[in-house]
């Protein structure tokens, strides 16, 4: 059970928790949509990164959407997921060597997009964990 009741605003349980302040919910949801869609990095790559982060960020709602699927990994996805795992373990002290590996395969623009996605996704998952957001029961 969540720590606060859901508002009447939003399409998902996550949005309804943010929906107590509709402006924040709309802005958060918009940024999430921008970051999740395919940009310089594919939406499938980002989904595998999201799944990786969910395993370590403590949000049961996010974990319920599945673990990473290595069968869907290409080289870029493997490198991005590995970087997300380094981030989970060493948030405040990511080694330069981790960025060197990224720079061997990704452009500066792609690295920026990946880091923005990781940061935003982590914030979303921390919010879900903080609120004790649980998976939707069928």
Three-class SS state of 38: coil
Q: Does 73 fall in a domain? A: yes
Q: pTM for this one? A: 0.94
Q: CATH number, domain at 41? A: 1.20.1290.10
67 — alpha (psi -120 to 50), left (phi > 0) or beta? beta
Query: Domain range spanning residue 63?
Result: 13-130
DSSP 8-state assignment for residue 3? S
Q: Does 55 fall in a domain? A: yes
CB 37 within 8 A of CB 109: no
Q: Does 97 fall in a domain? A: yes
Query: Would you write out the chain's pLDDT as a tens digit for each of its 138 residues?
Result: 899 999 999 999 999 999 999 999 999 999 999 999 989 999 999 999 999 999 999 999 999 999 999 999 999 999 999 999 999 999 989 999 999 999 999 999 999 999 999 999 999 999 999 999 999 876
């Amino acid at each position: 059970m969540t720590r606060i009741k859901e508002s009447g605003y939003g399409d998902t349980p996550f949005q309804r928790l943010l929906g107590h302040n509709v402006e924040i919910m709309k802005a958060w949801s918009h940024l999430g949509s921008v970051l999740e869609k395919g940009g310089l990095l594919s939406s499938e790559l980002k989904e595998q990164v999201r799944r990786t982060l969910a395993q370590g960020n403590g949000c049961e709602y996010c974990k319920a959407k599945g673990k990473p699927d290595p069968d869907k990994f290409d080289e870029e996805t493997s490198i991005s997921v590995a970087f997300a795992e380094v981030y989970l373990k060493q948030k405040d002290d990511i080694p330069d060597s981790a960025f060197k590996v990224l720079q061997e395969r990704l452009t500066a623009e792609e690295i920026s997009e990946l880091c923005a996605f990781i940061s935003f996704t982590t914030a979303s998952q921390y919010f879900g964990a903080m609120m004790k957001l649980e998976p939707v029961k069928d």
